[in-house]
């Protein structure tokens, strides 16, 4: 306390010192004193009020504790009185046991009397209910079933209340009402049959469907009431809960699954188009069913069932399961395409789930994929593997067929412009076209993959084609009389190369978004293909010229000889032979017709110069030299005239080409 006083005095001294730091402040001492006195009085008043409030609270608390103590004592006395009265009434309660038993017996008898009519009439009521079911009057039949079940359940409940351990009497009651349980099962069978035929029933007799739903709703309410009573008493009648609403959904699910499976009528052994037929029937059935369910069946069900959305989900789940089953089978390439096209395109199209009459309840954008990405990728990979093998086989078969044509004893066919050709390019690119059309139906990505595959296999095929053409030439050289139309078919080979190039460019334009928008990595093989085709064509032209110069060889050897100088007709024969060959070469397509003409001219010049360089003749006089020079000039004029004549058949950039 003394320490507190000292601190207070010290604080006051500091405060006074702070207020009286200048001489002129001494005049305000009295003012300072009054101000501090007011502050002191205010603080003391607040302190007194706080202390008074605390004292009042303590006083109130003590008063309440005192009252609580008195209440506790009163309760204690009351409990003692109750305990005393209870001990005195034990004997009285035991004396009322007979009354209690009488009450229970009266309750049972009252239940028996109330249900007496139903109890004695069980067989007749059951028979009437069966007849009503047969006539399709389900609501009336179910009303009788409910009355019988109510009588049975009330009797069993009273027996349970009286003696829950007396199973003999319970079994006796249950046995007496056995036909009621059978009637309930028969009613269920009739209802589930209606559910299975709901898509037909709703069109022919929607009232039956409404009655079925009302019966199920009744059973659901009874189930709920019985379960609530079980929580209170522990008793539940036999056969409860029936859970017919859950059974309804289960039967609908099985019905949908059966509907999907029933659309497969054939197998691969009976019909190669079995999968296409199966998928089309599935599409037709699903669309028809959903339209009926939206427009008719939804009107027969309570709104809280949300029956259309539930059935849509059931069909979607059933289709997912069926599609996965099909994907797990050993499908062929065309079957994989059919399945993927149906899953990725048809399912969401206006021909099925995107049908205008199903909107807005069905949102195709919100539908889950029928196939997982892993399964879809597996099918695509399998398809590409199978397609690769098929293309290789098709190309090999096409080449073998073309090789057989080379040996025919008739000229190859010509196109509308008169150029020789074989069916090889048409067969190859028709095959490519068909596969690309199929792939385009599935996705653009698959289309590009198939196009890349076709180009890769085309490159490999051309390598084999080049080898076979060379082998064809070698075989011909062994006996130049066979094949009979070697020249014509070699021309057709050269023309095929140009046709391949044109078809390749056409394919490129058709199966890409824009002509110049092709990614180089997708078509890295294309320059090689073009180059290989040029090589094959040039080799074909070379083989043709080899054939020409084999015939010209003995006549070329006469040049620059004494026989040539005195008037040999070797050059005439050479020109006639070349012109004769070029009558056939005129059926070579541009630009190779130009190339072969230039090459023929070059080789003639080379051969002529070679004969001059070989010095086969020695001129004995100046006159012979002059005569030889004139002869060379004459030969040159003949060759120039010949190749101008040959080149007149060729136009280049719209102008005649001249060697």
φ/ψ of 420, rounded to 5, equals -65, 145
Lookup result for tokens 């369910």:
293
Residue 594: what pLDDT? 81
pLDDT at 100: 67
Is residue 249 within 8 Å of residue 310, measured between CB atoms? yes
pLDDT at position 654, please?
Answer: 31
List, in order, residues 6 or more apart from 389 with CB less than 8 Å away: none
| Direct distance between the N- and C-terminal alpha carbons of the chain, in angstroms, rounded to an integer | 136
Strands (E), 432-490: none
- Per-residue pLDDT tens over the stretch 549-572: 777 777 766 666 666 666 677 777
Count of Cβ atoms closer than 10 Å to residue 114 Cβ: 14
Question: Minimal CA–CA distance to 320: which of 250, 257, 268?
Answer: 257
* pLDDT for the residue numbered 520: 41
DSSP characters over 323-368: HHHHHHS---HHHHHHHHHIIIIITTSTTTTT-GGGTTT--GGGPP
State which residues of the chain have pLDDT below 70: 1, 25-27, 90-101, 103-120, 163-166, 265-267, 513-527, 556-567, 616-619, 624, 627-628, 630, 632, 635, 637, 648-659
Helices then strands, counting H and E runs in the chain, come out as 24, 2
Q: What pTM, to 2 d.p., does this model score?
A: 0.63
Given this model, what pLDDT does residue 556 score? 67
Residue owning tokens 């038993």: 101
Strand-pairing partners, residue 420, are: 414
Instruction: Tell me how far apart the alpha carbons of residues 99 and 637 are, in angstroms, rounded to a whole number.
Output: 150
Cβ neighbours around 220 below 10 Å, total:
17
In angstroms, the CA 321 to CA 302 distance is 29
Collapsing DSSP states into helix, strand and coil, what is residue 292?
Answer: helix
Q: Is 138 helix (H, G, I), strand (E, B) or coil?
A: helix
Strand stretches in 162-288, DSSP E: none
Q: What are phi and psi of 163, to 5 degrees?
A: -155, 90
DSSP assignment of 482-550, as one string?
-STTHHHHHHHHHHHHHHHHHHHHHHHHHTSSSTT---TTTTTTHHHHHHHHHHHHHHHHHHHHHHHHH
Contact 386, 333 (CB under 8 A): yes
User: Do residues 300 and 209 touch, judged by C-beta distance below 8 A?
Assistant: yes
Q: How far apart are CA 287 and CA 282, in angstroms?
A: 8
pLDDT tens readout for residues 138-158 = 888 888 888 888 878 777 877
Coil/strand/helix, residue 559: coil
């Amino acid at each position: 306390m003394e320490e507190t006083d000292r601190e207070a005095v010290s604080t006051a001294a500091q405060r006074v010192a702070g207020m009286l730091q200048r001489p002129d402040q001494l005049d305000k001492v009295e003012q300072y004193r009054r101000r501090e006195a007011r502050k002191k009085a205010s603080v003391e008043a607040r302190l007194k009020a706080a202390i008074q409030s605390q004292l009042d609270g303590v006083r109130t608390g003590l008063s309440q504790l005192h009252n609580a103590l008195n209440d506790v004592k009163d309760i204690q006395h009351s409990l003692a009185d109750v305990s005393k009265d209870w001990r005195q009434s034990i004997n009285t309660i035991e004396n009322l046991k007979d009354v209690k038993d009488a009450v229970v017996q009266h309750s049972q008898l009252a239940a028996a009397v109330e249900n007496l009519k139903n109890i004695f009439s069980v067989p007749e009521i059951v028979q009437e209910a069966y007849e009503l079911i047969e006539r399709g009057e389900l609501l009336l039949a179910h009303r009788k079933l409910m009355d019988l079940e109510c009588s049975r359940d009330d009797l069993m409940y009273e027996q349970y209340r009286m003696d829950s351990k007396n199973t003999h009497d319970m079994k006796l009651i249950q046995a007496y009402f056995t036909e009621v349980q059978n009637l309930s099962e028969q009613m269920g069978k009739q209802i589930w049959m209606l559910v299975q035929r709901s898509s037909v029933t709703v069109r022919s007799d929607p009232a039956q469907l409404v009655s079925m739903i009302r019966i199920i709703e009744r059973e659901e309410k009874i189930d709920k009431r019985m379960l609530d009573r079980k929580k209170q008493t522990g008793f539940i009648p036999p056969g409860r809960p029936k859970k017919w609403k859950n059974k309804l959904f289960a039967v609908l699910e099985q019905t949908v699954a059966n509907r999907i499976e029933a659309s497969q009528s054939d197998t691969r052994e009976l019909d190669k188009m079995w999968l296409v037929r199966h998928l089309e029937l599935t599409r037709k059935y699903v669309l028809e069913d959903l339209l009926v369910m939206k427009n008719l069946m939804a009107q027969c069900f309570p709104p809280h069932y949300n029956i259309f959305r539930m059935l849509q989900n059931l069909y979607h789940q059933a289709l997912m399961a069926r599609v996965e089953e099909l994907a797990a089978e050993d499908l062929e390439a065309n079957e994989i395409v059919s399945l993927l096209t149906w899953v990725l395109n048809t399912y969401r199209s206006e021909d099925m789930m995107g049908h205008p009459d199903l909107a807005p309840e069905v949102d195709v954008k919100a539908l889950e994929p029928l196939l997982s990405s892993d399964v879809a990728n597996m099918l695509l990979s399998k398809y590409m593997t199978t397609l690769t093998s098929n293309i290789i086989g098709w190309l090999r078969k096409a080449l073998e067929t073309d090789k057989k044509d080379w040996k025919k004893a008739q000229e190859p066919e010509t196109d509308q412009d008169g150029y020789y050709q074989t069916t090889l390019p048409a067969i190859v690119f028709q095959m490519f076209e068909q596969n690309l059309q199929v792939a385009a139906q599935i996705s653009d990505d698959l289309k590009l993959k198939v196009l890349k595959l076709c180009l890769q296999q085309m490159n490999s095929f051309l390598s084999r084609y080049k080898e076979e053409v060379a082998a064809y030439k070698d075989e011909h050289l062994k006996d130049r009389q066979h094949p009979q139309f070697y020249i014509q078919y070699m021309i057709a080979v050269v023309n095929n190369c140009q046709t391949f190039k044109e078809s390749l460019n056409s394919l490129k334009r058709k199966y890409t978004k824009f002509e110049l928008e092709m990614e180089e990595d997708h078509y890295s093989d294309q320059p090689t293909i073009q180059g290989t085709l040029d090589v094959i064509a040039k080799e074909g032209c070379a083989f043709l010229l080899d054939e020409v110069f084999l015939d010209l060889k003995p006549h070329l050897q006469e040049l620059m000889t004494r026989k040539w100088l005195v008037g040999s007709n070797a050059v005439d024969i050479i020109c006639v032979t070349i012109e004769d060959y070029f009558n056939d070469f005129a059926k070579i397509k541009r630009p190779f017709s130009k190339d072969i003409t230039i090459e023929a001219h070059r080789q003639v010049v080379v051969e002529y110069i070679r004969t001059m360089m070989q010095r086969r003749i020695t001129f004995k006089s100046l006159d012979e030299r002059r005569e030889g020079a004139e002869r060379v000039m004459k030969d040159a004029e003949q060759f120039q005239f010949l190749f101008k004549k040959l080149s007149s058949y060729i136009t280049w950039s719209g102008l005649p080409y001249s060697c």
